[in-house]
């Protein structure tokens, strides 16, 4: 398993901080959003991931390594290569605009002059006749799809200017005719075309009666017959044989995620959809379904290698086919950028870590993340594991909360448990709907056979209904549940915390305020803040009347068991915090995992600082602490599991250099 450490020395300030050291490991996999193959050296391939930045292989996918130096955002949606100068690449990110590399990804720099507040880039296309000319579809960061625009540069990205084209519901696809220079733009309302370099545009109607078309997700132009254009949409695949003047649907399957035309035989088209991979060899007259168990969202042909395709998946990394898509193999060695939803440390064996990988289920490491093993049974594989908790029992009892509001498959909801360190799993015998989404689990620190599970109720068309807290007092053999008095469409329960001094006192963070129970979750009362949505909750184990809660862009603190709250967000970014952790051995030290990275406060939340994670700050979804080393934190991030060693905690200049024995 490949992993690497990032060592950064922070600038001197009012406090002296030791260097932050991050060890980033797997499990090996990635959510690959973009894929680009060097047109002159097809064994050189680049991918853009959701959280882990950019990776590069020079041997056709046998070994990958990170290629993100200078990139400040790890969420890469677009990658394009200059066809004339393949060492020049452009990357579009989710919220930091466009980046450019002129040295084959050895380094990157931002090229956003003129893009202004349009920092979310969803499509980039290079004019093959003049490779300094590029077009980019972008969205405004604050308002999203409500404000989208098409930009153009003629100097390789040094300056951008907006084009006069009305875009409804955002844009996702661009294509340029290599012969005529005609530009096609796929938006949320159909396809637009310009034959004047973007100076004027025409709306291409899929039907003569259309006032707006379907959502366009992909575009491809036949390189031999450029009047033939394919448009992938949320209603299937359309084809035009007259440059967009008229269209016909060639396959009305599920939403198209990606398109690839064989450069040697462009009548052969591969289409990745929500329902699988399909192929035609006659331009769409006949189709066959190909056996691919992977969720493809990017496709590309190796130009000099007939029948060789690469695919980017939504969780398994890169796959490769040398049989024109008939069979596929994983090609992700070294591509460690998994989307980790949850992480937990075995308190009895601190080198053992469990990680919940989004839609890839549960992995285990016995060497602090250097290597990983998939511990999921077949019936659990593919579940979204939102939370993990390990009870201090021998052997370890593990609870896994699952469920995905975007999945229509009921077996992906609820929770599972293992009483033998993850080797076997079972469903609990609780009365719950399998469409439930479990986001939080709490284990009694005094009596580990007592545990609580918070659900988000039943998912119906992406909407959750209420929430229930289930309790076991016999290690999961039996469960009882009490539903909180939550509105029908609230998001249920996101955090549970047990008072270690009075374990029958339980707090719940919900989509409608903070609740408290003093009788072991039998009855509940709303404390306050019913108008706020809470994502996370943490309790001070030494002074248990002190709590921290995350809501919106703020961290709140209570010192009276939740009766009153104050904002303690100085130094925090404008980002949602989804995880909170109080250091049990030094309770003034509090960690917050946010959509913009990891933060720490050493004075009870009065001031926060960023824990540096190298050049990119990816989302931190969950946190766990090593019970034998308070300076080692495990972070579940969108780029994998990170082991964070903070060294010595910050000290004021007047303090001596010696650490206290408790540290």
What is the mean pLDDT of the segment spanning 8-20?
Answer: 45
Q: What is the pTM of this model?
A: 0.86
Beta-carbon count within 10 A of 156 CB: 18
- In this predicted model, which residue has the larger pLDDT, 407 or 592? 592
Contact 277, 296 (CB under 8 A): yes
pLDDT of 316-338, one tens digit each? 899 999 999 999 999 999 998 88
pLDDT of 500-559, one tens digit each? 999 999 999 998 899 999 999 998 899 878 889 999 999 999 999 999 999 989 999 999
What is the C-alpha to C-alpha distance for residues 238 and 176, in angstroms, rounded to an integer?
17
pLDDT band, residue 7 (cuts 50/70/90): very low
- In this predicted model, which residue has the larger pLDDT, 153 or 3? 153
Q: Write down the pLDDT at residue 582.
A: 97
Q: Of 577, 503, 580, whose CA–CA distance to 544 is shortest? A: 503
Between 308-312, 413-417, 446-450, 587-591, the lowest mean confidence (pLDDT) is in 413-417
What is the C-alpha to C-alpha distance for residues 439 and 91, in angstroms, rounded to an integer?
34
pLDDT of 423-460, one tens digit each? 999 876 555 666 678 889 999 999 999 999 988 766 54
Question: What does the angle CA 551 – CA 557 – CA 559 come to, to the nearest 5 degrees?
Answer: 150
What is the C-alpha to C-alpha distance for residues 198 and 186, in angstroms, rounded to an integer?
14
Q: Phi, psi (5° rounding) for residue 477?
A: -70, -40
What is the mean pLDDT of the segment spanning 282-306?
Answer: 86
Tokens coding 39: 């047109």
What is the C-alpha to C-alpha distance for residues 201 and 167, in angstroms, rounded to an integer?
11
What is the DSSP code (8-state) at residue 426?
B
Radius of gyration of the chain (CA): 26
Domains, the chain: 338-558 (2.130.10.10)
pLDDT of 146-203, one tens digit each? 688 999 999 999 999 999 887 877 788 999 999 999 999 999 889 999 999 999 999 9
């Amino acid at each position: 398993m490949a992993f690497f450490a990032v060592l950064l020395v922070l600038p001197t300030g009012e406090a002296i901080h030791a260097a932050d050291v991050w060890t980033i490991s797997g499990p090996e996999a990635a959510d690959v959003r973009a894929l680009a193959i060097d047109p002159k050296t097809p064994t050189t391939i680049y991918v853009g991931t959701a959280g882990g930045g950019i990776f590069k292989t020079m041997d056709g996918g046998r070994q990958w390594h990170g290629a993100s130096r200078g990139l400040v955002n790890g969420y890469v949606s677009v990658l394009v290569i200059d066809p004339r100068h393949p060492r020049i690449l452009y990357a579009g990110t989710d919220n930091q605009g466009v980046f450019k590399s002129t040295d084959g990804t050895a380094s990157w720099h931002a090229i956003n002059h003129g893009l202004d507040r349009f920092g979310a880039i969803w499509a980039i296309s290079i004019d093959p006749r003049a490779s300094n000319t590029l077009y980019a579809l972008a969205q405004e960061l604050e308002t999203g799809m409500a404000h989208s625009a098409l930009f153009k540069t003629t100097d390789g990205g040094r300056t951008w200017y907006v084009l006069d084209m009305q875009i409804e519901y955002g844009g996702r696809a661009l294509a340029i005719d290599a012969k005529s220079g005609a530009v096609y733009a796929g938006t949320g309302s159909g396809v637009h075309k310009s034959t004047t370099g973007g100076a004027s545009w025409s709306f291409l109607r899929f039907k003569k009666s259309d006032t707006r078309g379907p959502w366009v997700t992909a575009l491809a132009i036949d390189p031999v017959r450029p009047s033939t254009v394919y448009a992938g949409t949320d209603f299937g695949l359309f084809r035009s044989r007259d440059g967009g003047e008229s269209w016909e649907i060639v396959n009305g399957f599920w939403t198209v995620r990606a398109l690839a035309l064989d450069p040697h035989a462009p009548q052969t088209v591969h289409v990745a959809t929500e329902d699988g991979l399909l192929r035609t060899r006659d331009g769409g007259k006949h189709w066959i379904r190909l056996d691919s168990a992977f969720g493809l969202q990017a496709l590309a042909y190796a130009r000099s290698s007939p029948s060789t395709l690469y695919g980017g998946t939504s969780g398994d990394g890169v796959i490769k086919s040398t049989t024109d898509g008939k069979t596929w193999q994983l090609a992700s060695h070294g591509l460690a950028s998994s989307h980790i939803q949850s992480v937990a440390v075995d308190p009895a064996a601190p080198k053992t870590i469990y990680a919940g990988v989004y839609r890839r289920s549960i992995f285990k490491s016995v060497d602090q993340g250097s290597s990983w093993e998939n511990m999921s049974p077949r019936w659990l594989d593919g579940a979204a594991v939102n939370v993990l908790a390990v009870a201090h029992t021998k052997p370890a009892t593990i609870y896994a909360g699952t469920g995905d509001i975007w999945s229509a498959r009921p077996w992906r909801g609820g929770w599972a448990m293992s009483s033998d360190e993850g080797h076997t799993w079972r469903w609990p015998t609780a009365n719950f709907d399998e469409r439930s989404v479990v986001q939080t689990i709490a284990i009694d620190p005094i009596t580990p056979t007592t545990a609580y599970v918070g659900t988000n109720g039943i998912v119906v068309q992406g909407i959750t209904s209420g929430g229930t807290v289930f309790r076991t007092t016999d290690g999961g053999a039996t469960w009882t549940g009490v539903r909180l008095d939550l509105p029908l469409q609230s998001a249920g329960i996101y955090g549970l915390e047990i008072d270690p001094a009075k374990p029958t006192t339980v707090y719940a963070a919900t989509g409608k305020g903070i609740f408290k129970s003093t009788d072991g979750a039998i009855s509940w009362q709303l404390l306050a803040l019913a108008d706020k949505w809470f994502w996370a909750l943490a309790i001070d184990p030494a002074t248990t009347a002190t709590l921290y809660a995350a809501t919106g862009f703020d961290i709140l603190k209570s010192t009276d068991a939740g009766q009153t709250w104050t904002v303690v967000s100085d130094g925090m970014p404008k980002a949602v915090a989804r995880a909170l952790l109080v250091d049990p051995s030094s309770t003034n030290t509090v960690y917050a995992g946010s959509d913009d990275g990891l933060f720490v406060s050493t004075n009870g939340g009065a001031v926060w600082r960023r824990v540096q994670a190298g050049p990119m700050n990816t989302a931190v979804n969950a946190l766990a602490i090593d019970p034998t080393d308070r300076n080692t934190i495990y972070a579940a991030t969108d780029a994998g599991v990170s082991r964070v060693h903070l060294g010595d905690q910050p000290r004021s200049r007047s303090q001596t250099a010696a650490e206290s024995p408790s540290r």
